[in-house]
Amino acid sequence: MNRHSWQPWLFAMEPERAHTMALLALETLAKMPKTRALLWPRHDPDPILQQSLWGLEFSHPLGLAAGFDKDARALPSLCSMGFAFVEIGTVTPLPQSGNPRPRIFRYPKEQAIINRLGFPSDGMEMVARRLRSWGKGSVPMGINLGKNKDTPLAQALADYERLLQHLHPYADYWVINVSSPNTPGLRTLQSVENLVPLLVALRKVREDLADNQRLPPLLVKIAPDLEREEIQELGHLAEDSRGLLDGFIASNTTISRPEGWTYPPEAGGLSGRPLRERALQTLQILYQSSRGKVPIIGVGGIFTVEDAYQRILAGGSLLQSYTGWIYQGPRMLEDIPRGLGDRLRQDGFTHISQAIGQGM
């Protein structure tokens, strides 16, 4: 029995049930460090891929995107599996159950997923309790923050402030999620006139909380459905003298559907292969307009070494995957770093930083 043979078994289940089962298995392993070490032996990092960004060390560029472990249930397992960093969340201040089921749909032929989960969350208190009990992880950990569904948009800032205050001791980086399509109105916070005051206020909270000069960087995660000019305006924020943000994540899921999408219509965000071109374009526009001033995490439809390499050439300093990892399994966490190192050497680069944005 090979070690990835659980995959067909999970794919035979209803998607959300499969997710719950996988998370449960990883949560169990999270409490078994010796078994984890046998299951996922450590590989020597390839120096060509190692980067230090925001004062954090990344052994290679590929991390786990938000949404898989929203409540930090299985963090030590995810840190051991081979991801160079892990993002938990989206966490909301109060617990909430999200949208009614079914709310995750698989499209294996297209290697895609649609989800309309709507931020089901155990809430920040439970998440903080878990993070406290896990202790410091073996790789950098980001916390992705969202507002509660019942919080009026005008009071969204108060939700993000509370999250920052409550989860501050645990975050290596913050993600302000203003791009989920499944919380009504959330995406309007991406407009510059809404986002700037939010960021100004959150930076102040972050500075008031700073301990030992520790200021986890503030990243903004954007949607791939913005117009070119809107992405450009966001990119220009990276040059604002107030230092409003420290990075971007491009991108979240799309509400668009590819041409010839013949499945019964399901509301929600589409991820995986059909998102690849859109997410790549969003990253390209963002990198050009921000003139490489802040690191960008490229995410959306990354499955192969070529996808990963292309995203770095387009301006991604780091990468994330969710849907690709679901379809390809943990093998991806060996294949992409190894292949990326080879690919960089083939093209004459001696370090990944030389390749970032070189394909523009």
Ligand X SMILES: Cc1cc2nc3c(=O)[nH]c(=O)nc-3n(C[C@H](O)[C@H](O)[C@H](O)COP(=O)(O)O)c2cc1C
Distance from the Cα of residue 313 to its chain's centroid? 19
Q: How far apart are CA 68 and CA 309, in angstroms?
A: 24
Using CB under 6 A, pick the residue from 148, 321, 341, 356 that binds ligand X: 321
User: Looking at beta carbons, which pairs linking 188-192 to residues 24 or more positions away fall under 8 Å?
Assistant: 188/153, 189/153, 189/156, 190/222, 190/223, 190/226, 190/230, 190/234, 191/230, 192/233, 192/234, 192/237
Task: Please report, in angstroms and rounded to a whole number, the separation of the first and last CA atoms in the chain.
Answer: 45
Pick the stretch among 26-34, 195-203, 318-326, 342-350 that binds ligand X (CB under 6 A). Answer: 318-326
Span of 48-56, 237-245, 282-290, 321-329 interacting with ligand X by CB under 6 A: 321-329
Q: How far is the CB of 182 from ligand X (least distance, A)?
A: 8
Can you say whether the dihedral through the CA atoms of 268, 278, 236, 205 is positive or negative? Answer: positive
Residue whose CB is less far from ligand X, 77 or 282: 282
**Rounded to whole angstroms, how far apart are CA atoms 126 and 93?**
10
How many residues bind ligand X (CB under 6 A)? The answer is: 28
Half-sphere exposure at residue 243, Cβ-oriented, CA atoms within 13 angstroms? 8
Contact region for ligand X (CB under 6 A) — 59-67, 93-101, 282-290, 341-349? 59-67
Q: Which is nearer to ligand X, 59 or 180 (CB)?
A: 180
Site string for ligand X, 95-124 (x = CB under 6 A): ---------x--------x-x-x-x-----
For position 333 contacting ligand X by CB under 6 A, the verdict is no
Ramachandran class of 203: left when φ > 0, alpha when ψ lies in -120 to 50, beta otherwise: alpha
Which member of 80, 121, 179, 180 is catalytic? 180
Single-letter residue type at 113: I
324 counts as binding ligand X under rule CB under 6 A: yes
Count how many residues are written for the chain. 360
Q: Which is nearer to ligand X, 113 or 318 (CB)?
A: 113
In this complex, which beta carbon is closest to ligand X, that of residue 48 or of residue 231?
231
Shortest distance, CB of residue 91 to ligand X, whole angstroms? 9
Give CA–CA dist 69/91, Å, rounded: 10
Q: Is 180 a catalytic residue?
A: yes
Q: What are the residue numbers of the active site?
A: 180
Q: Which residues bind ligand X (CB under 6 A)?
A: 65-67, 70, 89-90, 104, 113, 115, 117, 119, 144, 177, 180, 221, 252-253, 271-272, 275, 299-302, 321-324
